[in-house]
Amino acid sequence: MLKEGSLFTIKNFKVVESTFAYRPIEFPLTIILSALTVMNNLAEDVVDIPINEFQFIKPTMIDSRVDSHTVLSDVVGCLYEIGDIENCGSKSKTREIKIITDYFEKVKITLWEELGDKFAPSLYNKDVGPYIVIVTSTTVKEFCGEITSNVN
């Protein structure tokens, strides 16, 4: 079993062009594992590889991501507002949060269902901050002329 932070050699796999509807990173290739794939754990001190990577985009690129779900977007900024839970349709609920990015852009992020419930306003004390928020794998949408990032 693969474990985050561990290193492996991998044999008998395929590398194919990424054609999936949703991708966590912007990369043209995907690795496909099969029943013939062999993985061996390496010693931890063989090589140092960072565990996580984010691809933050400049504000000028946001428009190109609207309704394009091929590559999901990561957003980071300083939290300045948490909205109330709102019903959206008959069964869905959302909570909007607002952040200011390092480019001084204001970004509205819609948290759906359970994520909206977990992001409670009681966690946010304006007198203590600032609070830095990182939201990964968002889709970018435009509604009534306003661009929002959405995460389910």
Q: What is the pLDDT of residues 36-94, one digit of tens each?
A: 988 888 776 666 666 666 666 677 777 788 887 777 888 888 888 899 998 887 778 88
Q: What is the four-CA torsion angle of 116, 85, 69, 131, rounded to 10 degrees?
A: -50
93-118: per-residue pLDDT in tens? 889 999 888 777 888 888 888 888 88
Peptide bond into 130 cis (omega under 30): yes
pTM reported for the whole predicted model? 0.60
User: What is the C-alpha to C-alpha distance for residues 90 and 105, in angstroms, rounded to an integer?
Assistant: 33
